[in-house]
Chain A
C-alpha cells in the first residue's frame, strides 16, 4: 500500500468535526454509519463504511444545478459537466476516464435541478487514486477551444438522441416542469437550446468554474470498504490546499401558490399514440406534508397495487402502465432542494379522450381527499416506502447511499437525515394524508400536458 501521507486525521489536523453519528446509535430501523466533517477550506466530507464487498464509491457533488445556469446560456450547467472530463492540471483529455477504467472502475457525472455530480465506483484499493483525480479537477481545468467544440457537438448529439430524434422526447420530464413552473429558474429548458449551447465560450466556462466549482460549494462522499484514518488523511492531503471562494448569493427559486389549473399540449409528428401527463406542486421539503406526500405517491402511483394502476390499467384498460413519482425522471424524493413536482404520465389510444382519463384520476384523488385512508392501505404504503428506501440505498453497489448522503449534506448540512427518514414517515397519520391531499392534490394546483400524435404539417403549435 503506497501510503504517502501517513498521519492520522482528526483533531490533530485541525478538522472541524460537525457531527459523528455512530452506527446503530439511533432509533430502530436500518442505520447507515456516518462520519461528517468540514475541511478548513469549507469542503464538507461524508464517510460511510460498508465492508460487504471490496468496492467503494467516491463522489463529488457541487451545489450548482441546471436551475441556476445563466439566463442566456440554457443547458450550460450540463455542458460544463462534460467539460469536467476534458482535462485538468495533471490529466489530459481522456486520461481521467482511462485512469478510472484501468483501475477497474466505472464513472459518470450528471446534472440535476440542484447539483452536478461526479462519481467513481471502484475496487476499494483504488480510493486514493480517485481522490487525487477528483481533487485535480477541483483545482482547475486545462481545456482548449477544440475540447469545447468537441463537447458542444457531443452534447448536441445527446439532446438529439434523447429529445429531438425521439417520439415524445421531452415528455414529460422537460415539458411538464416548463409548463407547471412560473419562475424562470424552474421553468426553462435545462437541456438547452442548440443555439445557446453553440454560443458558449471558454470565458463562460472559466467564469462558471470560478463561481461554483470550489471546495466550499461542494460535498465529497466516500462509501464502501475503506479504511477511515487513511482515507481522511488522503482527503486532507489532496483537497486541503484548494482555496475557497466567495460564493454568489443563491437566487430566489420560490414558486407562487398555483390557483388555477393549467393545460398545455403539443403535436408530436414522431409519436403514434397520444400521451397524458399531470403535475402537482409539492409541499416544501421536510415538512410533515412532504412526508405525507411520499406516502400518497406510494398509495396512488407506485406499483401494481397502487390505486391509479388498479383503476386505469386493471379496471378501465385505458393504458398499460402508469409512471409516477416525485422528481420523476431525474431522481427521487430525496435528491433535490428547490420547488418540485409530483408527476404522473401514461400512453393511451387515439379513441380515448384525455378528459375521460382525468376523470378516473380525479375519482382516485377525491378518494384521498374525502376519506382518511384505511389502516391496511397506510401500512402497505409504509412497507413499500421502506423497501424503496432500501432499494435506493443499495442501488448500483451503494451509489444510492452516496447520493443520499451527498444530497443531505449539500442541501441541509446534515447527512444523518438519511437515518431519520423512516421515523418521519412513521409519524404520518391518515388525517395528515387527507389534509395534504386536500391542499396539494387540488385541481387548481395541477398542470395537465397532452401529446397529440400528428402529421408533420400540423406540428406547428398547440392543438387542444
Chain B
C-alpha cells in the first residue's frame, strides 16, 4: 500500500503541477542499429501478346495475392461515359460465358479468398488473394472474368440502380462533395474532373455500351499481372501463360495528362447549418518522374503529412479547430497535386485557412531545423519498411513504379534519397511548389456563417 499512495501522490502532483518536475526529465533510450531492409526483388516476364507478369515473393503465410492492373479507367471515358469504366469493372463479377456470378463468388470463397474488381482514374484492377495451394485455379478464374465476361442487360440495369443510389449517398457526404468539387475546379473538362454521372447519362448505359467499352480498352498491352506472397513460380507461370496467351494485344495505354488550374480560385458550396466546414486547399506540383519528387514527399510530410507535422500541430494540437487534418501529394501519370484536407469547426473556417497558409509561408521563408527534418525523414524511411512488408503493400509499390515508369531503382534507393534531403532543399521545394497565390480553395459549409470569413482568401494572398 505504500506504493499505492506514492503513486497517487505522483499522479496528482504531475497533473496539477507539472512544471517543477520538468528540470529533471529523463531522456528516451536511443534506438539500436537499424537492420537492413531490402524490398524483395521481382521477376518480370512478358507474354508474346505484350502482357507483363511480375512475381515477388513475400512472407511465410501460405497465401498468394494475384492482381491484374489494366491501364484504362476514367481516362478512357468520353464526356458521355462518366463512370462507365466503374460500371464495366463491376460487371466483370456478374458472370462469364461459362460461370454465373454465384459460381465466381463461391469458387473464390472455396479457395479462401474473394475476387474484387474496380476502376480508378487510370487503372482497372481485378484480383484478390487466396490460399497458396489454389494459386493456379485463381489465375484461371481471374482470366475467365477478364477474357470472357457475360455482360447481361438485367445485371447492367441492377448495377445502374446501385450506382445511382451510391452516388446519391456520396453526394450527401461533405468529404465527398469537397473532394469532387476540388477536382472539378482543378481538372475542369478533363476526365479526372468528371466523377459522378448524372442520372440522365447513367440511364443510357446498356450492356452493349459496357461491352463496347471493354472491347475498346481491355487488352494484353495494357495489362500487368502482379503475383505476391508464397507460391510455386514455375507452376503459376504455366497457369498464367495458359490462361492469358490467347488474349488480344489491344490498344496501347491512353496518354492524356490534364492541365490543372494553377491560380487562386475559391468556391464555397452551401450546406446550410453544417457544424463543420470541409476544406481542401491545393495546387499542381511535380509528378513522380521529377527529380524533385522525393524532396516534395519529404516537404509534404513535414508541413502537413504526418501526425507531428506543422499544420496538424497548429490547427489540431494547439488550436483544437479540427480532428484529423492531413496533407498528401496525389499522383497521376505526368501529374502531381499537393492537397491539404481538414474538417474544421464552422466558426473558425477562415482562421484555419489563415494558419494553413501561415505554416506554408513560414516553411517557404525559413529552412526547418535539422532535428525536425531528421525526424520526418526517419519517419518516411521507417514507414516505407512497414508499407512494403505485406503482399498488397509490395504490389502497390510496384504498380506505382510501373505506372510512372520509374524503374526498380526508385524502390532500392528510396530510403537513401529521402535521408539525403537537406533543410534548405525543403525550403526551396516549398518556395518553388507551394505558392499560396496559386492554390485552389474548396469549402463546403454553412454559407451564411462562412462566407464573410472567406472574403480575404478569394483573390490572392491576404
Interface residues of A (CB under 8 A from B): 1-2, 4, 30, 52-55, 87-94, 97-99, 101-107, 121-126, 128-129, 132-133, 136, 139-144, 149-158, 160-161, 164-167, 202, 205-206, 209-210, 214, 225, 242-246, 270-273, 303-305, 309-310, 314, 317, 319-320, 347-349, 379-380, 383-384, 386-387, 390, 394, 397, 456
Residue of B6, B33, B316, B386 touching A55 (CB-CB under 8 A):
B386
Given A157-B322, A166-B173, A387-B113, CB of A139 within 8 Å of CB of B28 = no
A128–B320 contact, CB under 8 A? no
Given A125-B35, A305-B105, A390-B61, CB of A104 within 8 Å of CB of B323 = no
B166–A320 contact, CB under 8 A? yes
Given A154-B316, A161-B323, CB of A87 within 8 Å of CB of B386 = no
Q: Does B234 contact A (CB under 8 A)?
A: no
Closest 7 interchain pairs by CB? Answer: A104-B382, A153-B320, A102-B375, A243-B3, A320-B162, A142-B18, A53-B389
Bound CA span A387–B390, Å: 16
Bound CA span A87–B93, Å: 51
Q: Does B171 contact A (CB under 8 A)?
A: yes
Residue of A52, A104, A456 touching B378 (CB-CB under 8 A):
A104
Question: Could you mark each residue 1-39 of chain B with 1 if its beta carbon is under 8 Å from any beta carbon of chain A, else 0?
Answer: 001101110111011101001100111111111111100
Q: Does B106 contact A (CB under 8 A)?
A: yes
Q: Does B276 contact A (CB under 8 A)?
A: yes
**B37 neighbours in A (Cβ, 8 Å):** 53-54, 123
With A154-B317, A161-B276, A210-B7 given, can you name 10 additional A-B contacts, CB distance below 8 Å?
A: A54-B34, A98-B375, A132-B29, A139-B10, A153-B320, A156-B345, A157-B323, A210-B8, A243-B3, A273-B168
Bound CA span A93–B159, Å: 50
Bound CA span A383–B106, Å: 11
A380–B109 contact, CB under 8 A? yes
A89–B14 contact, CB under 8 A? yes
A94–B317 contact, CB under 8 A? yes
Residue of A97, A105, A151, A390 touching B320 (CB-CB under 8 A):
A151
**B168 neighbours in A (Cβ, 8 Å):** 272-273
**A271 neighbours in B (Cβ, 8 Å):** 169, 172
Question: Could you mark each residue 314-334 of chain B with 1 if its beta carbon is under 8 Å from any beta carbon of chain A, else 0?
Answer: 001111111110000000000
Q: Does B367 contact A (CB under 8 A)?
A: no
Q: Does B427 contact A (CB under 8 A)?
A: no
Most buried by B among A144, A153, A270, A319: A153
Given A101-B308, A125-B33, A394-B390, CB of A347 within 8 Å of CB of B169 = yes
Bound CA span A46–B161, Å: 50
Closest residue of B by beta carbon distance from A30? B61
Q: Does B457 contact A (CB under 8 A)?
A: no
**B106 neighbours in A (Cβ, 8 Å):** 305, 380
Quick one: which of B251-280 are within 8 Å of A by CB?
Answer: 273-276
- Closest chain A CB from B348 CB (angstroms): 10
B323–A158 contact, CB under 8 A? yes
B172–A154 contact, CB under 8 A? no
Q: Does B381 contact A (CB under 8 A)?
A: yes
Would you list 16 pairs from A and B whose C-beta atoms are within 8 A, ordered by A residue?
A52-B389, A88-B14, A101-B375, A101-B376, A103-B382, A151-B320, A153-B319, A153-B321, A157-B344, A167-B172, A167-B173, A246-B4, A303-B114, A348-B165, A380-B110, A397-B390
Bound CA span A407–B242, Å: 46
**A52 neighbours in B (Cβ, 8 Å):** 59-60, 389
Given A125-B32, A246-B4, A303-B109, CB of A102 within 8 Å of CB of B323 = no
Q: Does B307 contact A (CB under 8 A)?
A: yes
- Closest chain B CB from A312 CB (angstroms): 11
Given A102-B378, A165-B343, CB of A126 within 8 Å of CB of B169 = no
- Closest chain B CB from A207 CB (angstroms): 10
B109–A142 contact, CB under 8 A? no
- Closest chain B CB from A89 CB (angstroms): 6
**A314 neighbours in B (Cβ, 8 Å):** 101-102
Given A102-B375, A125-B32, CB of A206 within 8 Å of CB of B15 = yes
Q: Does B374 contact A (CB under 8 A)?
A: yes
A129–B31 contact, CB under 8 A? yes
Question: Could you mark each residue 339-377 of chain B with 1 if its beta carbon is under 8 Å from any beta carbon of chain A, else 0?
Answer: 000011100000000000000000000000000001110
- Closest chain A CB from B66 CB (angstroms): 14
Given A101-B306, A102-B375, A272-B168, CB of A160 within 8 Å of CB of B345 = yes
B114–A90 contact, CB under 8 A? no
Bound CA span A214–B8, Å: 11
B32–A157 contact, CB under 8 A? no
